[in-house]
Amino acid sequence: MPVLMLSLLCTLATVARPAPVASMSSSEPAQHEELTLLFHGALQLSQALNGVYKTTEAQLTEAGDSLGLYGQALGLLGQEVSQGQDAAQELRASLLEMQAHADKQSHIVWALRGHVQRQRQEMVAQQQRLRQIQERLHMAALPA
């Protein structure tokens, strides 16, 4: 930025020309006064630009710091999201394991129900045979 100020000041000094004056005798003091005003204006401009530069530099530094903080916050949020995704994956795996266990238990219960149903049917059939045997024994024991 200081290089820009210096080059601007040199350019203004080179381009500056005295304004045409009506009388030639007072031309010399007028040129000196105009150059003094020109340099004073250039100095004020350079001071103003320097102020703008410093303000802008401070704002850029502040913005950079803010971006750094935002970057850190995003990094932490990214870690939390990653941890959440890991936890969700663990939950899915756990749920799948529980579902497989429940399916296995359901299959066992189904098989046991079938076994109990067959046992009941067999018991009913044996009770019926027992009644038939008892009837035959009862009929055989009766006097003819």
What is the C-alpha to C-alpha distance for residues 117 and 19, in angstroms, rounded to an integer? 121
Residue 107 lies in a domain: no
Percent of the chain with pLDDT over 90: 69
**Mean pLDDT, rounded, for 36-40:** 91
Q: What is the pTM of this model?
A: 0.47
What is the C-alpha to C-alpha distance for residues 18 and 27, in angstroms, rounded to an integer? 9
Two structure tokens written together for 124: 């009913």
Residue 47 lies in a domain: no
Residue 23 lies in a domain: no
Residue 128 lies in a domain: yes
pLDDT digit string (tens) for 92-121?
A: 999 999 999 999 999 999 999 999 999 999
Report the chain's terminal Cα–Cα distance, integer Å.
138
* Domain total in the chain: 1
Residue span of the structural domain in which 144 resides: 112-144
Residue ranges in the chain assigned as alpha helix (H): 2-15, 27-141
Amino acid letter, 134? Q
The mean-pLDDT minimum among 91-95, 124-128, 131-135, 136-140 falls in 136-140
pLDDT digit string (tens) for 56-70?
A: 999 999 999 999 999
Residue 140 lies in a domain: yes
